[in-house]
Structure 1
Amino acid sequence: MTAITIDKATKVFSSRDGEEVVALSDVSLDIGENEFISLVGPSGCGKSTLLRLIGGLLPLNGGRILIDGTEVKGPQVKTGFVFQKATLLEWKTILENVLFPLKIMGSLDAKSRDKARELLALAGLDGFENKYPGELSGGMQQRAGICRALMHDPDILLMDEPFGALDALTREDMSIELLRIWREQPKTIVFVTHSISEAVLLSDRVVVMSPRPGEVKQILDIPLPRPRSFAVQKDARFQDKVDEIRQLITGK
């Protein structure tokens, strides 16, 4: 089943002096239900722009994007978004932050708190419900941000370099944590990262994009068994894919 269809998506931005900048040009891609896709490529190639187009946060200048056969015209309940920083509300507890999307949607009910607590426990934050963001580490805040994005049970999770601001060890821990959550609560995930090894570790397929204007340069299947841990990095196929993707991006 195809969850997301991207059909010749084009995005053009206008600068202050009126010059047009083509960020994406004729990008086409089909993403399957519950598939984990990573977008990689050089800085400025339009990875984050494509993610925002899928999420309905930006309008297209050409082409179309469909979710479950319906054209995206704006933000949809079917999608959740995780940004590079957790962007939690500092004056609200972690539990209140996770509940916030349902409050905005007007869909809080008697079971909402129980569900939020279950998600926090799933993310290893059991016992931190009444803490404030400033009392948590960066990794814990990011876990709370993922819980918030999952709270309304979206079919699709869009993740824009969600671990980019974390230190190396916390980033590794969060990668494995994300795989565990995804395994227990399957979603279609589109994940933007600058880390090639992270993309190979996490993904079913890796989409390599060209320099601006961003186009799909190549799509690589990742033939590594699941569930995965960091032990998979010892597999020769892992390093082969990392080297292949690096060659496609840098030419080296």
Structure 2
Amino acid sequence: MRIALFSTCIGDSLFPDAHKATAVILARLGHEVVFPEEQTCCGQMHINTGYQKEALGMIRTYNDAFADPSIDYVVAASGSCVGAVREQHVRLADRFGSAADVDGSKKASHKTLDLPEFLVDIAGVTNVGAFFPHKVTYHPSCHGLRFLKLADKPYQLLREVEGIDLVELSNSEECCGFGGTFAIKNAETSQAMVSDKVRHVKETGAEYVTGGDSSCLMNIGGSLSRQQAGVRAIHMAEILASTKEHPWTPNSAIYSREKML
């Protein structure tokens, strides 16, 4: 299949390894991965803070970037952004845009998937050949859990990783407190929520906490770092991209095409 990689703003700016790892996994499974360079923000931040009409231009850009009919699916390592595309784009296009905007949004949103969705539901695989010999706990993000209904798909993928010791996280369904601009507008509440999340992470004795959203991991990882807890946050795509031949290490550049493909 021909897969377009949707990198997302936070991926491009702060966590590129998660999206490079996504491309590595897809290519390893035999798919052709393309990167439409005209892609930009999905508009989620603007929509959620009340600038819904102003986000129409970003929705149009998204539709145009992935409109190529030869693209079978659009895959991202971000349940949050995928959730925004699927939950918001058609509704906003219908409210503020034209019939062409609605049609474009329907076509783009229908083929936009989070990485676990694509791997389990479309590619039909749970074992992607990963090797990660560490103790890991998993945090399900709100968008993945509640909007995309990922259920146990991430767990299916992580359980198949060779060498992993996957441990259960208490109260895993609770929000980490990030919520995009929520963490800025409601800083004290956000801090209390992430404190609870980090306490449960530390109780597992895990070396790593993983998840499908870099924004959640940034919030959890930041709190862990400030507490000097000795637990690292890592996107699950990076775990799934790691192999015996090319193991993942913090701040490594193992996702170059020359090294990994």
What is the TM-score when the length of structure 1 is the normalising length? Answer: 0.33
Structure (1/2) with the larger helix percentage: 2
**Larger RCO of the pair (alpha carbons < 8 Å, separation 6+):** 1
What is the TM-score when the length of structure 2 is the normalising length? Answer: 0.32
